[in-house]
Structure 1
């Protein structure tokens, strides 16, 4: 086995996108023709031809709860890709990733992205699990016309599309998650809920989406309270959220803030049901001091969250099963958030295969025509849609005795 090269129903919508993928492809970039397989600066790769990908992840800092999971999955998928390498035109290219720890700092993430593009000459970028670091990379990637596949939540990452032509997002759209949550809340006979939303761009998306979804579902949104920045008084926000004695509380925040918010709500003597958005899911959320606070909570998440998804026999299901088994063997447990990095790597590799080139512009064009089942769920990219997670990839789960079980 090769050594990984690392430096440090919606069926209608999918069917339409699939049926038109060919015409979209031709309109986006013309017929695929093999190109000169040189590096972006015109020089040959020193160790043979490569597909070079820059990776910015939160390996330390507030985003580490999710960032570390991505690096682990990335290593496993990279090793698999390099067994046979990637056929790009008439050459097989090794995949090499340059991993950088952005320390959960947007300014550092932007500088690293700039260096990866200008100095390292990467063909594409992937990564970041915080919306703020993602947006910092977005500005660099768009300006320097380099494809960037984001792992962070937040609809603004890919909108407005006219200003995000090189940007793609794998996480589900806030509106899709909010609609599922609102329907779930209504089906449980709950009439009034409070929203406790994270500070920042991810929370902004949640506030807009939950308000609209509650109106459509006939659920009263009693109040919206924003969590303070890390280190702020979470207890006060929790008390304010439950002051009106709601039937339930929606916590729209990524790990580790989701677990912190749940503990604060329980300390405020609130014992009603909790509802999380997809970004809340990480091992840290359900372990240690968070365990009792989040027991019984609901989450809307892509269907990769539980072992029940390992029973399928599709190519993607088999690949997912292999990833989960290897991940558990190497790290002792598996988080449903982890497959995003694997999917991002595969999508970029597939774009290189389809384009018969590692040219950044052609990679961008072929990323936006992919309709495929990944390890986290279904993606349906199009020139008019760069947030590719399909809404029918989402399921409702409840935490029971420390494990997520699908309920719908």
Structure 2
């Protein structure tokens, strides 16, 4: 089976499942697609006891299209650029300091809290895991997924400053989370003093994060300059596409953070000043519609992929119990990691009531966590953490995703 045929089957499934969702379930797209795909994959698993043809095809597709590489190396950059392009830049400027703290200190705090607690909890189930591997799990599960949260929050009619905090944090903390994960991964893999030294960690952080932001600024400015110098919507749409594709390629070549570069570039190109000075009304409409379509298409493929990944799990009962216990642990750790930053900025920026509760429940985990987990080696307890991560992602999308809107409405109605 060629990669083209494999992708064609994925898109066919996405179209069929999307139709079923819109026609019958009427759930938010990301939630509906993942739910239907999980049911489909489990059905294929059941049918395989009589005829394993469908199971072999689905497993082959998962293997042929490397989910981890596809998401982290390609899809994530496009999705983050599209998300940043439609983010309210002025609100983001107002909320920039809490967002920065949430996306850095918050991720680090959550990583160590989750890793530390899991290190002591897992032996309850007879699972003795090294502390460094528990930290790896803390790093991959701490970033919230902008891909999962963007569409759901918009439909929840959350207050704009609250939406900006959650979306802004989600856009930036995945880039930081990937850097934290990569650093701990290198320490765990090499196990030497050099890999764990402060200088090495700061060098990696500087290269990935600062380099990624600098690349994003350069790409954003070049894109703005080119779009301002012409008035042709076809060419201007292609310029934005070229900026993303070349930007991702440069970031990969220079080992910079492609996610952060795409977020910064998207925010620059999408802010009101650039729109007014570089885009005609027709160009703005076409650019927005083009990236909305890209966003919808890739989101659709992504959540079908997440649903199909159920076939690679090892269903040990200890792993499942550990995953179920991890749900409250991760939620409590996120709440605690946000506590001090929210308290510090509350008086200055006037946060809406129950901000911490909403940000905790609205901080969904998604494809990024699964993709990072797939990068673990067997020595790093890959099978165990993959099951735990999958349970957390399913809970986040299906339970938190379906109820965060109601939580927002309830908390805001109590404090008009």
The answer to whether TM tops 0.5 is no
Which structure has the highest strand share of the two? 1
- State the TM-score, normalized to the length of structure 1: 0.29
Which structure has the highest helix share of the two? 2
Greater relative CO (CA pairs within 8 A, separation 6+): 2
